[in-house]
A and B are shown apart, each in its own frame.
Chain A
Amino acid sequence: MSPIVELREVTKDFGHIKALKGVSLSFAAGEKVSLLGPNGAGKSTLLKIVATQMAPSSGVVTVLGYDAVKQREEIKKRVGVVGHRSFLYDELTLEENLEFYGSFLGSDHDEVVQAIGVTGLERWSGVKAGHLSYGLRKRGDISRALLGKPKLLLLDEFFSGLDREASEVLAQYLGEMKEQTIIISSHTLEMVQGLCDRTVRLRGGLVEGDAAA
């Protein structure tokens, strides 16, 4: 079975700074993978390249069989992304935010309501995102990322800034998602170890370790 994500000798330079120095990895369908490493290890860069938000300096990246440089839009339709900062607009309600993002993915109102229900945010659907707590906003971001029924979820520094209780609630939601391949970046092992079945360690833009959790 072909991997859902494949990176071959991927590099990324920002001027003289080399964020990735030849990373080769592949991720199979249904895997839940944690990307671990200290700040500056290249985790966010790698996720942004897989999400096609950033082009690699060299190397080949294929996501769901599509080329990550030439077929960005095809990939974006099938990948859900949660950044370490929220993509929700403060002035719009949770539902309006999801309607906006969903409209680009062909999601109808029912799918928006369903996505809000997955993270248990029905009570807050009419509340402006700017009035939501950090934890609720993260849940809102998961709902947004689930629009369009993505096959791959990319979660960047997902548990950062969350207290233990909120992290456990979110980990539970993610654990219940059996259909998606999930890649979560984190600088600590604590929250992701119970959730993921594989751990990839990055350091200084290189893969330092890759093992089953």
Chain B
Amino acid sequence: MTAGDQLEMTLRLARKDVMVELRRPHELLSIVAFTLSSVVISSFSWRTVLSLDPVVVSATLWIILYFASILVLTTSFAREVDRGTIDGLRSLPCPPIVIIAGKIVYGLVILVIALLALMASSLLFLNLGFAYLSSLSMVFVIGAVDLALIGSMLSAVLMYSEGKNLLLAFLFFPVSVPILLPGIQACAAILSGAAPLSLLPEIRLLLAYMLAMVAVSMTLFKELYVE
């Protein structure tokens, strides 16, 4: 099986999950609604928006993305187990890495939808300048890949646990810290008007964590997937 075949299978799995998600629009809408309402509530509570500290804005955006990730990723494998379709996935003639990769891509797609809502609402309600948009989006997308990776992996680790959704919410925090800290710092720097090159240390950290999580997923998931 070539890498191209594996990529094609990964995209097929992700497409199936996105289709399933779009056919249950209440879940996707609840994630978007959570994102929008969080930004609006923040905007109302910070009446003096023009004098906002970039670190506060950055941290708020990342906290919203963090909670949106929990909403997206807790259902990733849990739903397959709850409905019995996990055995259907197990019956597919593809390597385990394809299954986890499909879930990561699916998680990323949904997180990008949440990010679009986050960016659009931030432009409207938090007075974010258009000038920051491309740099912020780049950092958030790298962060979203990281969150999708660790969220999908945790969801797989906990898929047979009692109270898996609660456990995921608790365990997600410590493994998210290496994403949240550089992410918040990078976005705060962008909002302060820092030069793009000054973001490199944070971007490198986010990318290094991504590679580490890819390596963990490739080695650990195979053991989890075969009972």
- Contact yes or no, A85 B19, CB < 8 A: no
Number of A-B contacts (CB under 8 A): 69
Some 29 contacts from A to B, beta carbons below 8 A apart, are A48-B87, A48-B227, A53-B87, A54-B226, A54-B227, A55-B227, A73-B1, A73-B95, A74-B93, A76-B93, A81-B87, A83-B84, A83-B88, A85-B87, A86-B84, A87-B84, A87-B88, A88-B85, A89-B16, A89-B83, A90-B83, A91-B19, A92-B16, A92-B20, A100-B12, A100-B16, A103-B12, A104-B93, A105-B93
Chain B 93-109 interface residues, beta-carbon cutoff 8 Å to A? 93-95
- Contact yes or no, B91 A51, CB < 8 A: yes
Number of interface residues of A (CB under 8 A): 28
Give the complex CA separation of A23 and B83 in angstroms. 30
Judged by a CB distance under 8 angstroms, whether A96 is at the interface is yes
Q: Which of A48, A85, A100 contacts B83 (CB 8 A)?
A: A85
- Interface residues of chain B, those whose CB is within 8 Å of chain A, are 1, 9, 12, 16, 19-20, 23-24, 83-85, 87-88, 90-95, 226-227
Chain B residue nearest to A89 in the complex (CB): B20
Give the complex CA separation of A74 and B227 in angstroms. 18
- Contact yes or no, B83 A104, CB < 8 A: no
Chain A residue nearest to B9 in the complex (CB): A104
Give the complex CA separation of A11 and B88 in angstroms. 24
- Contact yes or no, A76 B83, CB < 8 A: no
Give the complex CA separation of A86 and B87 in angstroms. 9
Give the complex CA separation of A91 and B26 in angstroms. 13
Q: Which of A86, A89, A92, A101 contacts B92 (CB 8 A)?
A: A101
Q: Which of B24, B88, B90, B95 contacts A101 (CB 8 A)?
A: B88
Give A94-138 as 1s and 0s: 1 = Cβ < 8 Å from B's Cβ atoms.
001000110111000000000000000000000010000000000
Chain B residues with Cβ below 8 Å from A151 are: none
Not counting A55-B226, A91-B23, a sample of 6 additional A-B residue pairs whose C-beta atoms are within 8 angstroms of each other reads A76-B91, A83-B87, A85-B87, A88-B88, A90-B83, A103-B12
In the assembled complex, the CB of A73 is this many whole angstroms from the nearest CB of chain B, namely: 4
Chain A residue nearest to B226 in the complex (CB): A55
Q: Which of B12, B84, B85, B227 contacts A104 (CB 8 A)?
A: B12
Chain B residues with Cβ below 8 Å from A83 are: 84, 87-88
Chain A residue nearest to B79 in the complex (CB): A89
The verdict on A73 contacting B93 (CB below 8 Å), with A53-B227, A92-B20, A96-B19 known, is yes
In the assembled complex, the CB of A136 is this many whole angstroms from the nearest CB of chain B, namely: 17
Judged by a CB distance under 8 angstroms, whether A149 is at the interface is no
- Contact yes or no, B16 A87, CB < 8 A: no
Give the complex CA separation of A85 and B91 in angstroms. 13
